[in-house]
Structure 1
Amino acid sequence: MYAALWRVLPGPVIVKLIILLVLIAAVLYLLFAFVFPWVQTLIPVPDATLDE
């Protein structure tokens, strides 16, 4: 899959690397901004405080 993505990207190697870095940054941003907060609402977190 990664080889197919590499072949589809235009330009020389340096341009392909820059495009891949931008794509990775965009995917990480989308995960942290939208996906992870949404998943957190679905996972119950137990109350970890202790009463004295």
Structure 2
Amino acid sequence: MYGWIYRHLPGPTPVRALLALLLVVVVVTLLLFVVFPAIEPFVPLNDVTVQR
């Protein structure tokens, strides 16, 4: 998958590397600020109960 993406990026190797890095930054940013906050109410990570 990563090879397919890298082969389809335009330009010489330094430009491809920069575009690949930019792509990673965009994906991580979207995950942190859009996807994770949207699914947070459905993930019970803060429901900590201790039963005896």
Q: TM-score range by the shorter chain?
A: 0.7 to 0.9
CA distance in 1, matches of 2:23, 2:6: 12
After superposing on structure 2, the runs of 4+ consecutive aligned residues of structure 1 that deviate more than 4 Å are none
Aligned residues: 48
CA RMSD of aligned residues (A): 1.4
Q: Which runs of 5+ in 1 are unaligned?
A: none
| TM-score, normalising length: structure 2 | 0.78
The higher relative CO (CA closer than 8 Å, separation ≥ 6) is in: 2
- Provide the identity percentage: 35
Unaligned runs of 5+ in 2: none
Matched residue, 1:11: 11
1:41 deviation in Å? Answer: 0.9
